[in-house]
A and B are shown apart, each in its own frame.
Chain A
Amino acid sequence: MNDVWERVEPLLRQVERPARYVDREWGVVRRPDAGYHVALMYPDTYEVGMANQALQVLAARLSTLDDVACERVFIPWVDMSAAMRAHEVPLFTLESCTPVAEMDMLGITLPNELTYTNVLEALDLAGIPLRAHDRGETHPLVVGGGPCSHNPEPMAAFFDAILVGDGEEALLEIVASHRASMAAGLSREESVRALAGIDGVYVPSLYLVGDDGVVRPVDDAPARVTRRVLADLDTYVSPTCPVVPYADVVHDRATVEVLRGCSRGCRFCQAGMVYRPVRERPADSIVRDAIASLRCTGYEELSLTSLSTADHSQLEEVLRRLANRLEGTGTAISVPSLRIDSFTVPLARLLGDGRKAGLTFAPEAGSQRLRDAINKNITEEEILTAVDQAFTAGWRRVKLYFMIGLPTETDEDVTAIAALVERVFATARAATPPGERGGLRVAVSASTFVPKAHTPFQWDGQLPIEEVRRRQVLLRQAMPRKGVELSFHDAGSSLLEAVLAKGGREAAAGVEAAWRAGAVFDAWSEHFSLARWIEALASAGIDAAAYAAEARDRHGALPWDHIDSGLSSAFLRAERERTDRAETTADCTFGECTGCGVCPGLGVDVVVAGGERRG
């Protein structure tokens, strides 16, 4: 292992925020003498990556293996990468400042499509060949995972293996398999092939795309890769001693995952489909891990995370117990992802005891018809009641998320967003004492619908960008001006997201061409160029606009058919048909099984800690 710190340090005097590159935080685990070295990378800056909970979970799991070192890697900001290239300093890990190319394994999470070029940037800075088939015996295994593994094809060529689903157990099996292969003196090709024997692991080199667009194994690899699911979230403690950054990172706080999965069934939402079933952690474990984490990290804020935290059957009990334990310490408790219909008076009161951060709700659509069509399952009355309760309890700011371009959307649905916002504002105003109305703010954020794999909308096309922009203008004109801040997510990056979210293996050439043309940090608006991407995709034979807009045959082949998320396509098709009739489907954790196929297909079950959910 070569420590390159001596070569890194001189560069730190010329770059922004050098704290990103120096390591030495509280909670770092250092194992220089380990027999096996894993680098875990989040493909964005330190500030974004350090907030990722999955990497904290995986690092904690790996730390249970005595002879394994787990080190962090992030993407150097453009000033640093330029300095590194100018001085021939390779991409290095934080803990030991070792070149990434000297690791045994490089694990990369794929959080969203806009980080794809950052993966290539990292491989290039590390001196690792971009394409898996160009790598030699000494290069680390490059293993992917995370949300985008559910449609791995656009990135498949750059990975030796990709894990689909929960990593708590699978990552340890991957490490064990690779170590056994190394001990047996197997070649790189044989080691990679062995990984295909692990449930949930996709080895792209063992699959070919047929003329019909279907991805098939070339020999004895499984025809479909089945998503890994951790049946009981309480098997492992939530990581209680994660690394505590110095730099001001995105979510700079202690976190405890309270549940995984969400079966509310919003039809556009990939996370709500592919992380089923709902698995709650018991209140005792949550409180225990929260207190342990605050004690170990010294954080001043605790976040209870999940896709839909207020759905937890014991949330009120958890909040009450935490409030008792943390009284007088100035510790704030935050609950992200609140569903409007689970925001109750006691909940408002319990959250209000700490610091009142802004409140965020996601009605997603303005009209009841469209909310029913996407299966949001909330009514306007519920929205206004929640706002009334929040502002009565002392909140003064609320942020509302909407989407433009959802399947079946009309102009009436778009203007209905403005009408709803107007009523929200009026309700908030009425619940606020006259003297405090000056600070009242309603922020509205409208993103563009992106069709995602393994959702009922996976066959839908995205609205053409010109039409998205027309509807944005329509919304802006209809929106009340006083007290409302309206912002739009950039339609250009949503177009790229759609191409890559729908893309097959052929998209890889487009990703590589974009990176070669200088695309990096695509999620950062100052670095994103749609024109560059359109040209790069064209060079790979992809007409971006047409590709994003294309609706697919609901009985035809999809580029992700070989990835088995557990959802039956009959369920997804039926859900898509209910969209056209604006029919809703209930959440199975509150009522009957909806037949999505996950529990019987993956041999798991819904876990509700309190026995029963109230909704």
Chain B
Amino acid sequence: MAEGFRLRVCFRKAGRLRYLSHLETGRAWERAARRAGLPYAVTQGYNPRMKVAFGPALPVGTAGMREYLDITLTRFVPVAQVQEGLRASIVEELAPVECGYVSPTEPSLASRLTIAEYEVELERGVPPQELERSLDALMRTGGLETEHKGKQKFFDLAVVLPKEPEVMSDAGRAAVRVWVRMGPHGSLRPETFMSAAIGPGRPVAVTRTELFIEDEQGWIRPL
């Protein structure tokens, strides 16, 4: 079924609301769409629901600067008008960044968005050179064994890290930019990766800064 107008919204999950779960964030956006008076389509059947789909889940505690959702509208509303309506209907911490229409036949966000860019902020006082050394050492091992909720997992770093992590040493911060490839093999949590590199307890904040679609031409933004 490819009827209606597929509106794509890029939004933030920031500040205190980084502590929302994926489900909670989704519910917040559905209600914002109702408050904004968008002409959303509803599913057929016993429990009619808003036709809305979200990108890959962001863990509780992780902020996002450019997260995505697709919502099906029954009629076209100019982008500027949608954006204005949404901005007035949701709190600043979840504010829309930009909106646009995409083809109604486009595959789902969850299947298309496979590259995530993170910024991991570390405790102050980790010297950049030491960071570089630790990251290099870990990358050279080629693999990473993790344990999450009692489950063992092995990540092949050449597959899950499509790009070498970058140490950012601007303005006295200690932060690392990490690109992770998400897929059927599961997704490596950037804080897990950083802990493996420099020891546990060091990351203080994790932000997903971008999400990309990976195709023949390279990495492209979903909007």
Instruction: State the B residues within 8 Å of A (CB).
Output: 15-17, 19-21, 23-25, 27-28, 30-35, 37, 42, 46-50, 60-61, 89-91, 93
Contacts and interface: CB of A to CB of B under 8 A. Distances in A.
Contacts of B17: 22, 24, 246
A84 to B, nearest CB: 16
Given A24-B17, A298-B89, A246 B61 contact: no
B35 A26 contact: yes
Contacts of B60: 18
Contact of A18 (B28, B34, B49, B61): B61
Contact of A355 (B20, B48, B50): B48
B42 A22 contact: no
A9 B205 CA distance: 11
List of 3 A-B pairs having minimum Cβ-Cβ separation, nearest first: A298-B31, A298-B34, A298-B35
A569 interface: no
Interface in A11-68: 12-13, 17-19, 21-26
A22 B61 CA distance: 11
Tell me whether chain A's interface is mostly helix, strand or loop, or mixed.
loop
Contacts of A356: 46
Contacts of B61: 12-13, 18
A296 B89 CA distance: 9
B50 A300 contact: yes
17 contacts: A9-B16, A12-B19, A18-B60, A22-B19, A22-B20, A24-B15, A26-B35, A244-B31, A246-B24, A246-B27, A247-B24, A294-B34, A296-B35, A297-B31, A298-B33, A300-B30, A300-B50
B91 A22 contact: no
Nearest to B36: A298
A24 B93 contact: yes
Contacts of B21: 17, 19
Contact of B16 (A24, A247, A299, A355): A24
A60 to B, nearest CB: 18
B28 A300 contact: no
Contacts of B91: 24-26
B20 A328 contact: no
B90 A26 contact: yes
A330 interface: yes
Contacts of A297: 31, 35
Interface in A253-310: 294-300
Given A26-B90, A296-B35, A330-B49, A19 B19 contact: yes
A248 interface: yes
Nearest to B47: A355
Contacts of B35: 26, 295-298
B42 A19 contact: no
Contacts of B47: 355
Nearest to B24: A246
Nearest to B48: A330
Contact of A298 (B15, B24, B30, B49): B30
A493 to B, nearest CB: 30
B19 A355 contact: no
A418 B146 CA distance: 54
B19 A26 contact: no
A22 B16 contact: yes
Contacts of A244: 31
B19 A18 contact: yes
A183 B91 CA distance: 37
Contacts of B33: 298
B83 to A, nearest CB: 17
Contacts of B30: 298, 300
A19 B94 CA distance: 14
A298 B60 CA distance: 23
Given A24-B17, A246-B28, A297-B31, 19 more contacts: A18-B61, A19-B19, A19-B20, A19-B21, A21-B19, A22-B16, A22-B20, A25-B91, A26-B90, A247-B24, A294-B34, A295-B35, A297-B35, A298-B34, A299-B34, A300-B50, A329-B42, A330-B48, A355-B46
